[in-house]
Structure 1
């Protein structure tokens, strides 16, 4: 039983120590509650204002350089002037040569028709002259022609 009494006494001492520690904590808590605590954010506000100002300046510089670049690109030519002039000369020469070739091709068919008619007339004249000069061949030709028509 002596041990139970010792344990009970030890437990009572521990409870008293716990109660005194709890009382001290409550007193410290009351003291902390009574102290007015106001956080100072002025340094943070100043840093934020400086950062926002710096970002504004960077944005303005970026906007200005973008505007300058777009203006320069708008004024620049994709191709040099000499290249455009050379290309136009090439186009004019191409269309001129194409037009002349088409005109000549059209004239060739007219010329061919004219020479064909001249050649046909010349052959017929030569053939008729041949038949007039050689009556025996003319007679044989006439007989052959009649046999062909039957």
Structure 2
């Protein structure tokens, strides 16, 4: 009997716990029914639109920077202008020097020919004499 009383007592405690749990569950269910979940996506759309605006601004900045770089690259030279001027100056000096030296060589050859002719007229050549005096 004692055991039967203990079992009954345990069952009563379990039933009381079950009843209190049911009451809590009913309270939570009522709160859930009273609470309405908005089905609107306005908040999400607002966040998405602000994010897209920020991305568009960043894209515009990148596009502007790329256009600036592109325009600078179009105006850029492979060689700097000063280096090109220096190269042309050296080339001009070399061309003038080469022309002058060519002129001097031709003039020297003409002088040699004139001198040879002049010496040929002044010094007679003896055909029978093989000895040099």
Task: With the length of structure 2 as denominator, give the TM-score of the two structures.
Answer: 0.55
Determine the structure 1 residue equivalent to 2:9: 10
| Aligned positions of 1:32-111 closer than 5 A | 32=32, 36-91=36-91, 93-94=93-94
Q: Show structure 2 runs of 5+ residues with no match.
A: 106-126
Displacement of 1:8 in angstroms is: 1.0
In 1: Cα distance, 2:12 partner to 2:98 partner: 121
- Post-superposition offset of 1:97: 6.3
Report the number of matched residues. Answer: 110
Distance 1:21 1:72, change over 3 A: same
TM-score by length of 1: 0.50
Consecutive unaligned residues of structure 1, counting only runs of 5 or more, are 105-124, 131-150
- The structure carrying a bigger helix percent of its residues is 1
CA distance in 2, matches of 1:71, 1:56: 22
Q: Cα distance, 1:89 vs. partner?
A: 3.3
CA distance in 1, matches of 2:54, 2:65: 17
Q: Distance in 2 between matches of 1:86 and 1:37?
A: 79
Paired residue for 1:129, among 117, 128, 131?
131
Q: Greater RCO between the two (CA within 8 Å, min separation 6)?
A: 1
- Flag the structure with larger Rg: 1
How far 1:70 sits from its partner (Å)? 1.5
Q: Return the alpha-carbon distance in structure 2 between the equivalents of residues 35 and 82 of structure 1.
A: 79
Summarize the alignment of residues 23-38 of structure 1 with structure 2, pairs less than 5 Å apart.
Answer: 23-24=22-23, 25=25, 28-29=28-29, 32=32, 36-38=36-38
